[in-house]
């Protein structure tokens, strides 16, 4: 399925730059604009997927029992309070 997109008030210099890029790539201006939008969309989706994977990993570690209760230490309440020493045994 395809659709159309109308962009109003595009600055002339942007249109000229797009036309130059299209010529350098052997494409029409329309094909170049389509390519730019497709690349942006793919990059955006990939970025969102990597964010989702990161938060899914954190959720799995925290909510599915990946951290024991004794492994979590709250931050000291004031700057004079020292954290407990770490026990690696």
The number of domains in the chain is 1
Residue 81 lies in a domain: no
Residue 32 lies in a domain: yes
Q: Looking at residue 68, what is its pLDDT?
A: 66
Query: Containing domain of residue 61, as a range?
Result: 23-65
Three-state secondary structure readout of the chain: CCCCCCCCCCCHHHHHHHHHHHHHCCCCHHHHHHHHHHHHHHHHHHHHHHHHHHHHHHHHHHHCCCCCHHHCCCCCCCCCCCCCCCCCC
Mean pLDDT over 65-73 rounds to: 65
pTM above 0.85, yes or no: no
Residue 37 lies in a domain: yes
Residue 59 lies in a domain: yes
Mean pLDDT over 42-47 rounds to: 82
Residue 72 lies in a domain: no
């Amino acid at each position: 399925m395809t659709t159309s997109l109308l962009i109003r008030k595009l600055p002339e210099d942007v249109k000229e730059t797009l036309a130059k890029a299209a010529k350098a790539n052997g494409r029409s201006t329309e094909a170049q604009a389509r390519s730019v939008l497709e690349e942006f969309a793919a990059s955006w989706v990939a970025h969102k997927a990597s964010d989702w994977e990161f938060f899914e990993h954190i959720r799995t570690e925290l909510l599915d029992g990946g951290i024991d209760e004794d492994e979590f230490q709250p931050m000291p309440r004031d700057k004079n309070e020292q954290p407990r020493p770490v026990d690696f045994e």
